Copies of this chain bind each other. A is one copy, B any other.
Amino acid sequence: MPGSEVYVGFDLGGSSLKASSFSLDGELQERCSIDTQKCLRVEDYLNLFSEAANSLSSTKHLKGIGVAVAGILDLDAGKVVDSPNLPILCGVPLLEMLKDSFPPTPIHMMNDANAAAFGEYFAGAGEGHESMFILTLGTGIGGSFVQNGEILQGVSGMAGEIGHMVIEKNGKPCTCGSNGCLEAYFSSWALARDAKTHAEQHPDSPIGSSDEISPIFLAELAVSGDHAVRAIWENGGHALGVGIANIMNLLNPASIVLVGGLMNAKEHFLATAQRAWEANSFEQAHNSSKVLLGKLGEWAGVRGAIQPFVVK
C-alpha cells in the first residue's frame, strides 16, 4: 500500500539535525528539528537519527533514508572526511553505522550543499527547469550548478565556487588568499568589514553601538534609515548582481535561485543587484535566466537528501 510507505530525509548541521518524512513521490509529510549541541559521541548522533526516523515513520514502512551532512564526504567509503562543524564525526564511517541502525533500509548520503541544491531543483524554485544555479548567501557565498538532474562537480570536485569568482581584479582581499572575489564584496563578513571601517571613520555612527556587526543588526540600521548602512548593502548588492550577470553570460541557466541567511535582508540589496545583472549581461541572457527566491528555506537539504529514491 504506497500510502503507508515513507522516505525520511535528514540534514545534519553543526547545531541541529533536521528530519522530514516524505511520500514516495517526494511530497513533504512531517518534519522536526533536533538540537544536537549535547551530542558528545558518535552514538549520541546515531540515537537521534533513530529516534527521529521512528517518530516520523511510526506505523509506516520506512522505504529509504537520505542523509545530508555538512562536510566533505568520501561517498565511496561512506565516510565523513572533514567537517569543521561536526568534529566528532571526522573520519567516521557514518553510512555503515547508519545501515547497522536501520537494517535493511537503503540509505543514501550526500554533502549538505548538494542536498540543498537538489531540494530546490527537484521540489523548490528550480522545479521543472532543465538547469539551475543556486547561490547560497551567508557567512560565505556558495554555489552549485545543476543540469539535467546532475550537480556539476568538476574534475576534482571544486566546481561551483562562485564566492571566489573574481569580479574586481586586484580588488579587496578575500579570506581565501586571493583578491577581488565576490565574497569579499557581498557576504556577512564583507558587510561587517565595511560597516566596521565606516564606524571607525565616523565615531558617531550607530554601527559603533554594537559589539557584533551581524547582518540582522545592519538590516535594522538600514530600516531605521541609516544612509551609510544602506549604501553598504547597496554596494554589496551591486557586486552580487555582477556575479549573477557572470553566471547568466557563462552558463545561461534556466533559473538562478537565491537562498541563505542574507536573503532575510533582501529588500536592502536585491533591487540594486537586479540593476547590476541587467547592466552587465546580454539582454537575451538575463531575459531567459530567471532569478528566483528559494522556496524551501532551511528545509531544502532534507528534501534533496531523499531525491535518489524518488521515482521521477
Contact = CB atoms under 8 A, between A and B. Distances in A.
Interface of A: 129-131, 143, 145, 147, 152-162, 164-169, 171, 176, 178-180, 238-239, 242, 245-246, 248-254, 276, 279-282, 284-285, 287-289
A158, A239, A242, A281 — which one has the most chain B CB atoms within 10 A of its CB? A158
Given A166-B242, A176-B282, A178-B280, 17 more contacts: A129-B155, A131-B155, A152-B251, A154-B252, A155-B252, A156-B284, A158-B249, A158-B288, A161-B250, A161-B282, A162-B249, A162-B250, A167-B169, A168-B171, A169-B238, A178-B279, A246-B246
Given A176-B282, A178-B280, A248 B158 contact: yes
B282 A154 contact: no
14 contacts: A143-B250, A145-B251, A152-B251, A154-B288, A156-B284, A156-B287, A158-B288, A160-B250, A161-B282, A162-B249, A168-B168, A169-B238, A178-B245, A178-B280
Contacts of A160: 250
A250 B284 contact: no
Nearest to A143: B250
A156 B288 contact: yes
A130 to B, nearest CB: 7
Contacts of A279: 178
Given A156-B288, A242-B169, A161 B249 contact: yes
Nearest to A287: B156
Given A161-B285, A176-B282, A178-B280, A252 B166 contact: no
Contact of A284 (B130, B158, B248, B280): B158
Nearest to A290: B155
Contacts of A246: 165-166, 246
Given A176-B282, A178-B279, A165 B250 contact: yes
A58 to B, nearest CB: 43
B130 A155 contact: yes
Nearest to A276: B169
A176 B154 CA distance: 30
A282 B155 contact: no
A162, A168, A287 pick with most chain B CB within 10 angstroms: A168
A147 B145 CA distance: 13
A55 to B, nearest CB: 40
A253 B157 CA distance: 10
B251 A159 contact: yes
A246 B249 CA distance: 13
B289 A155 contact: yes
A145 B157 CA distance: 17
Given A161-B282, A167-B166, A280-B178, A155 B250 contact: no
A287 B154 CA distance: 12
B158 A282 contact: yes
Contacts of A165: 246, 249-250
Contacts of A171: 168
